[in-house]
Amino acid sequence: MLADLEGQIERITYTNEENGFTIAKLKVYGRPDLVTVVGNLMAPTPGEILKLKGEWTNHPKYGEQFKIVQYKTTVPASVYGIQKYLGSGLIKGIGPVMAKRIVKKFGEQTLDIIEDEIDKLEHVAGIGRKRIRMIRKTWEDQKEIREVMLFLQGHGVSSGYATKIFKQYGNRSIQVVKKNPYRLATDIFGIGFVTADHIATKLGFDKNSQLRAEAGILYVLHQLADEGNVYYPYEPLIDKCKEILGVEEGIIVKAVDTIVNERKIVIEKIDEPTGELKETKRVYLAKFYVTETGIARRIKTLIETPKSIRSFDSNKAASWVQEQLSIDLAENQVQALKSAAENKILVITGGPGTGKTTIINALLKIFSGLKVRIMLAAPTGRAAKRMSEATGYEAKTIHRLLEYSIRKGGFKKDDEQPLECDLIIVDEASMIDTILMYHLLKAIPLKATFILVGDVNQLPSVGAGNVLKDIIASDIIPVVRLNEIFRQAKESQIIVNAHKINNGILPSFTSSGPGDDFYFIEQEDPENVLRIVLELVSDRVPQRFGFDPFDDIQVLSPMHKGTVGTGNLNIELQRWLNLRKDGVTRGNRAFRTGDKVMQIKNNYDKEVFNGDIGRIARVDPELREVDISFDGRNVPYDFTDLDEIILAYAVSVHKSQGSEYPAVIIPILTQPCILLQRNVIYTAVTRGRKLVIVVGTRKALAIGVKNDKPRKRYTFLEQRLRES
């Protein structure tokens, strides 16, 4: 039989915003000790009155507890409770100190004052008009969020997601969710199809409904795009959707026809079945069809349009620039200069130490002498910064170059308002995905010369596509391959070993003296590998080489899960490196002042992009904000936006693209083998500038180096370029 219990929340011991599970201490009238209550609560707040139904249990370790089955909340009535309630961080602009001042002024009338006569808060020291506006908005939002939360609570949605839903739809939230809960999967970052499907089931949506099938197909295509695919073959797609949704093929086929008619996807028929799967149709999300076909069309137009840069003698230019820069260029470097003079579009590709930066500097010297308007860009902030430092010219990220406009809802620079340049050079081109390349090409003036520089043997872009590789394979654009390692570069074991790895040869670990920059530590047990990595980052590398654990050392892992996956490594490295206690917990993730973090989603409003690394500068519980410093620029994050951020003491090899670090530590074990690929190992090693340490087994390293079959990405750009 269920028991009743009523009391005031004194403190929250633990709460998981993702599922609502909470452990709280309750102050119950007539009981001298606080009561531990356990169960699912939506956004519990100290000071709230809880009316509970549940059962008493006895935990072997923690003693007597009250297990919640049902509950209702009411706002507190006592002065103490109101102060606790307001000081909990519930209302943006009111922290513990301000709550004490307000309650001292208004006593038991405080909540009525905030509700009906909020302007009277001006009589409290430290509260001005700006703070009153903030408090008023948050108070109103909280009332509506509570209503949304109560509705969503009954449908299995966490408080964290409820807040996001409210931010997206406002007071239309309940109406939108009731009508089409599957919208949540595409509209709100962090809510996937599985969560939306769970809500839909609770709302009574039929498993075989067309709405569910349509949303499921789009979900599967987005998942496949996240794996790098620009399209997917029709028959395997139908099979995947049947398996994931658990419905008959006829329902899937009908739903496909509907979303084709709604122009959400595009199906392209193939006259002759191709590929291992004997493809008969290619299925694209509409945006990928537009961007892939647009890239091919734009490249063709650029090639055919006469260039604005006047012709000059490339032989004389090559001789002149070598004299000006006091350098001797290799034969293929000279060829790169000549190709840049003669062609509208050019690709220059090569591994580390082959002189890509030297070529960029030589090109800048030649073209600046001709008074040519030049722009430099790279896909990431770090790559752009490195390009600026190496050339002395300003380089921007592609996103900043194209000037995202909130008002326009896209990039300001496009075919109607192109970039003002005659030459654009883009470094780290292997990182550019299909959508970004399309927008970049749209913004390049038709008469401009476009030079792509990159290492095609690195991992492809995080986003969908394999653009640089497809452009090179199409054979419609001149490609210069730099393959000679220069004398100075040959002194670095990092560079020598990177080229060995790229050629399928195991790297050398023979010690040759104090200048060594490449080390291997043999260890098979995952727990020991973890311990060694922690010691290297926190103590051994800083002591011997003088590198800073936060700014100079980066741990790169091929995997996300497991003992030496990025998830566990970040938890352990945070525990070893950051002893600060001030921070915020979101679900099972803790962020502390001083933490090294990474943005995992393009946020154009904040001008912070996927892969940007920063440091947490400040956590403000009163404003419910976290300030993160990205290259000296402080960016505020609301607590509800922190799912865009992950710890970055360890990052995946994919996420490290475009960045270089003074020291890199790479754990490599045989499990899981699927992630051990040559381009993964090669990319990881080439991220280290002065020091690379591999910890693991020779067997795992050998598996990766020998495996030259990266996971297939379905793209059709190479063929489209050939056809064009």
Note the pLDDT tens digit of each residue in 210-231.
999 999 999 999 999 988 999 9
pLDDT class of 561 with cuts at 50, 70, 90: confident
Residue 587: the pLDDT is 65
CA dist 55 and 51 (Å) reads 13
- At residue 537, the pLDDT reads 94
**pLDDT attached to residue 724:** 65
State pLDDT tens for residues 15-33: 776 667 888 999 988 888 8
Region 287-292: mean pLDDT is: 97
What is the per-residue pLDDT for 160? 66
Task: Give me the pLDDT at residue 723, please.
Answer: 85
Neighbouring C-beta atoms of residue 14, cutoff 10 Å: 10
Q: Residue 124's pLDDT band (boundaries 50, 70, 90)?
A: confident
Residues 499, 366 contacting (CB under 8 angstroms) = no
Each residue's pLDDT tens digit, 427-449: 999 999 999 999 999 999 999 99
CA distance 98 to 107: 13
Vertex 380, ends 720 and 190: CA angle to 5°? 85
Sign of CA dihedral 640, 641, 643, 647: negative
- The pLDDT value recorded for residue 265 is 94
Indicate if the pLDDT at residue 40 is higher than 70. Answer: yes
DSSP 21-57: EEEEEEE-TT-SSPEEEEEE-SS--TT-EEEEEEEEE
Contact 303, 344 (CB under 8 A): yes
Residue pair 577/559 in contact (Cβ under 8 Å)? The answer is no
Q: What is the pLDDT of residue 377?
A: 96
The average pLDDT across 575-585 equals: 86
Average pLDDT over residues 177-183: 88
Top pLDDT among 233 and 382 is at: 233
Summarised one tens digit per residue, pLDDT across range 66-82 is 998 888 777 777 788 88
**Is 35 within 8 Å of 174 (Cβ atoms)?**
no
Q: Which range is least confidently modeled, 294-303, 529-538, 562-571, 671-680? A: 671-680
Residue 273 has pLDDT above 80, yes or no: no
Q: Residue 151 — pLDDT band, cuts 50, 70, 90?
A: confident
Q: What is the pLDDT of residue 158?
A: 65
Kindly report the average pLDDT of the chain as a whole number.
87
Cβ 344 vs Cβ 305: under 8 Å: yes
Percent of the chain with pLDDT over 90: 43
User: How far is it, in rounded angstroms, from Cα 392 to Cα 330?
Assistant: 23
Could you give the 3-state DSSP secondary structure of residue 695? strand
Backbone phi and psi for residue 527, each to the nearest 5 degrees, phi listed first: -65, -40
For residue 432, which phi and psi values (nearest 5 degrees)? Answer: -80, 125
Tell me if 593 sits within 8 A of 583, measured CB to CB. Answer: yes
pLDDT in tens, 631-672: 888 999 988 788 889 999 999 998 888 788 999 999 998 876
Characterize the bridge pairing of strands 650-652 and 518-522.
unpaired
Which of 30-44, 170-184, 545-559, 573-587 shows the highest mean pLDDT?
A: 545-559
Q: What's the pLDDT at 199?
A: 85
Q: How much is the pLDDT for 267?
A: 95
pLDDT of residue 665: 96
Distances from the Cα of 507 to the Cα of 498, 519, 706, angstroms:
8, 10, 12
Q: What is the pLDDT of residue 123?
A: 87
CA distances from 642 to 196, 443, 624, 625, 637 (A): 21, 32, 11, 9, 7
Residues 372, 340: contact at Cβ < 8 Å? no
Rounded to 5°, the CA angle 701-703-704 comes to 65
* pLDDT tens digits, one per residue of 494-519: 888 988 988 899 888 765 555 588 99
User: Residue 294 above 90 pLDDT?
Assistant: yes
Most confident among 181-190, 526-535, 709-718 (mean pLDDT): 526-535
- The whole-number pLDDT of residue 255 equals 94
